[in-house]
Amino acid sequence: MDRALVGYRVAIIGDLHIAPWQSTRALARSVDAINASQPDLVALVGDYGYSVDHVQPLSRAMYRAIMPRVLRELARLRAPDGVCAVLGNHDLDAGGDFVQHGMLGIGVTVLRNAQQDIHRNGAL
């Protein structure tokens, strides 16, 4: 590893699986804790809402109900190198384009078959 990247901090959060009938208070506390730790980058690793296996219409309805509240909390994440996300299998089952659009709307870089290079003091 390049010395310029020693001490680089990445906060990772995922597998939230929040259903429409659940509170987002635990997510809000997690966002507060992540911000307090002052990470260089935040990585969101998928499965933000609750879905039902093989019942896409119901999964999509539940995602449409919960994602505005989830996105409101995730929009508070702060890191100098930003916030990036991938979509999990539940996100894709419930409508990956819908989830991606919401993430892009709050300034999150969504990586779908892509990568994000990190540059720090001349290091990659």
Token pair 């019942």 is at which residue?
55
Encode pLDDT of 94-121 as tens digits.
989 999 999 999 999 999 988 888 877 7
Residues in the chain: 124
Count the neighbouring beta carbons within 10 Å of the beta carbon of residue 2.
Answer: 11
Rounded average pLDDT over 56-80: 96
Six-digit token string for 14: 């995922």
